[in-house]
Amino acid sequence: MTLIFGFLFGAIGVGYIVYGRKQRRGVALACGVALCAVPYFFNSVILVIVIGVVLMALPFFIRD
């Protein structure tokens, strides 16, 4: 399950990276990089999901 959620959040992270670079939004770019890296550092499925959802929502609340 960690592999599946890692792939899912990694794909979303790549989308955030592309969006952040094109629109010059640092928060979206940083969240995209973090979404790609989170599954490498945590083995717990619940922890990966919680951190992934928080990182996905962060650019909507923090505007740069």
pLDDT digits (tens, 9 = 90+) for 8-38: 999 999 999 999 999 999 999 999 999 999 9
C-alpha angle 64-47-19 in degrees, rounded to nearest 5: 30
Rounded to two decimals, the pTM is: 0.89
**pLDDT at 41 exceeding the cut of 90:** yes
What is the DSSP code (8-state) at residue 31? H
Q: Which residues touch 3 (CB under 8 Å, ≥6 apart)?
A: 39
Of 36, 33, 54, 52, residue with least CA distance to 44: 52
Phi, psi of 62 (to 5 degrees): -110, 115
User: Would you list the domain boundaries of the chain?
Assistant: 2-61
User: Is residue 7 over pLDDT 90?
Assistant: yes
Residues in the chain: 64
